[in-house]
Amino acid sequence: MTTDAGVSGWVVVLCLWGLLWSNATGQDPAQDYARLAKQLKVRELKTLMFAKYNNVNLMKLEEFLEKYPDAPEREKVLYLRAYSIWSLHRYNEAGPAYAALLKEFPETRFARLARIREAASYLFSGQPALALPRLQSLQKDYPDRPEMYARELAYALSRVGKQKEANTFMDDVEAELLFRKRERLLPRIKSHFDKIRMVGKPLPAFDVKDHRSGDPINPARLKGKVVLIDFWATWCRPCLAELPYVQAAHRDLAARGFVVFGVSLDESQQRMEAMVSKRKMDWLHHYDGKKWKNELAVVFDVHSIPASLLVDRRGVVRAVNLRGKELAEVAGALLQEEAQ
C-alpha cells in the first residue's frame, strides 16, 4: 500500500531527476535564455528590448529558436532576432522576422513596434506595395497617433503612385498635430514630408562642380538623363548598406542614360576619397567638407541620410528616398518610359 509520504517522496525524486536531466542535456529553455540574455547584454523596458547585435549573436538566437519550438521564451527571442536583423540594416529579412513574431504571438507586448518596423522594413527594402496595407492598418488602429507611422505611410503612398493621396494625408497630419497642440513633433516629420512633396516638381536651382573633374553640375546639364542625387557619408552605416543597390543600378543602367550624383556629407576629404576609390563609386560627386551645412544639403533641406531624389530626363523629381532593388526598378521604368 502506497502512503501519502511515499507518493510525496516519489514526486521529489522525479522532480530532482528531471532537473538533473535538463541540466545534463541542456534542455532547459529558461536557463538557456538567461545565459543567452547575459551573453547578448539584453536590457528590457516595458515594451522594448535592447541587445548587442551582430551576426554571431544572431546565430545564437536562431539556434535557440530551433532548439525550443514551444518555449514561452520564444516571444523575447523572436523579438530580439527581428531587432538584430533590423539593427544590422538587413531590411529585406527584417520584415519577415517581425511578421514571424506577430504570427506566433499576436498579443505580444512588442506588437505596436513590431508592426511599425515590419511595414518600414518592406518600405526600406523597396517593397512599398507590401508596406502600404500594414501602414494603413496602423492608421486605422491608432488614428490619434499619426507620428508613429506618418512618414512611412506618406512614402508608401507616393511610391505606389498615389501622390495626390500622399499630399492630402501629409496636409491632414500637419493640421491635426497643430490642432492638438503637438507641434513639437512636426519638425522631424515635416522634413520628410517636404521631400515627398517634391515629387512631380522640377529640381531647385543649384550650381556646383564635380569633385574629381571640376566640371559644372546643375539642373540644366543633368537634363536628358535619369539622375539619382544621393546624399551619403562614409560614417553612415545605412548609406553603406544601400551602396550595393546604387552600384548595381549604375552598372546595369548607365549605358541607357542613368547617372548617379553623389553628395558627400563627410568632413574628411581623405576618408571620402578613399571610400570612393575602394568601392569603385565611378560617378559624379560633390564634396565641400561642411557636413550638414553642405551647399546642396542646405538647398534640398537634408537633415538625415541616406536621402535621395530620382529625377527624370526633363529635370522633374519622380521619387524620393528609394531603397533597395526599387531604385533600379523605378529608374529602369523611367528610362523605358522616356525612350518611347
In percent, how much of the chain has pLDDT > 70? Answer: 91
CA distance 128 to 208: 33
pLDDT at 188: 86
Cα separation, 233 vs 209, whole angstroms:
18
Residue burial 80-96, b: 16+ Cβ < 10 Å; e: rest? bbbbbbbbbbbbbbbbe
C-alpha distances (whole Å) from 294 to each of 3, 42, 219, 234, 326 are 85, 38, 18, 15, 27
Query: Half-sphere exposure of residue 28, counting CA atoms within 13 Å on the CB side?
Result: 14
21-55 burial, b for 16+ CB within 10 Å, e for fewer?
eeeeeeebbeebbeebbeebebeeeeeebebebee
Coil, strand or helix: which one is 258?
Answer: strand
Residue 332 lies in a domain: yes
**Are residues 232 and 157 part of one domain?**
no
Cell 521604368 belongs to 333
Considering the domain boundaries, does residue 162 fall inside one?
yes
Q: Is 57 a domain residue?
A: yes
Short-list 114, 112, 116, CA closest to 97: 114
Coil, strand or helix at 295? helix
Q: Are residues 88 and 146 in the same domain?
A: no
**246 and 282 housed in the same domain:** yes
Residue 103: predicted pLDDT: 98
Q: How many domains does the chain have?
A: 3
Q: Domain check: are 101 and 220 in the same one?
A: no
Q: Which run of H or of E encompasses 22? A: helix 4-25
Cα separation, 309 vs 9, in Å, equals 74
Which of 152, 176, 196 finishes a domain?
196
Q: 32 lies in a domain?
A: yes
Q: Are residues 219 and 180 in the same domain?
A: no
Which residue segment(s) compose the domain that 103 sits in? 23-121
In a domain, 169, yes or no: yes
DSSP letters for 188-229: HHHHHHHHHTTTTSBPPP--EE-TTT--EE-HHHHTTSEEEE
| Residues 6 or more apart whose Cβ sits within 8 Å of residue 182 | 147
CATH of residue 99's domain is 1.25.40.10
Domain limit, last residue, from 173, 196, 219: 196
Same domain, 316 and 238: yes
Cβ–Cβ under 8 Å, residues 310 and 322? yes
Integer Rg of the chain from CA: 25
Q: What is the pTM of this model?
A: 0.85
Q: Are residues 132 and 106 in the same domain?
A: no
Beta strand 258-264 with 317-320 is unpaired
Nearest to 275 by CA among 232, 234, 223: 234
- Written as one letter, the residue type at 241 is A
Which residues make Cβ contacts (< 8 Å) with residue 252, sequence separation at least 6? 328, 332
User: Around Cβ 263, how many Cβ atoms within 10 Å?
Assistant: 27
> Which residues of the chain fall below pLDDT 70?
1-26, 338-340
Q: Does 11 map to a domain?
A: no
Domain shared by 212 and 328, yes or no:
yes
Q: What angle do CA 54, 57, 61 make, to 5 degrees?
A: 130
Q: Give the C-alpha separation, 303 to 191, whole Å.
A: 7
What is the predicted pLDDT for the residue at 21? Answer: 38
Say if 14 falls within a structural domain: no
Domain ends where: 139, 169, 196? Answer: 196
**Residues 246 and 322 reside in one and the same domain:** yes
A 10 A CB-CB count for 204 gives 12
In a domain, 6, yes or no: no
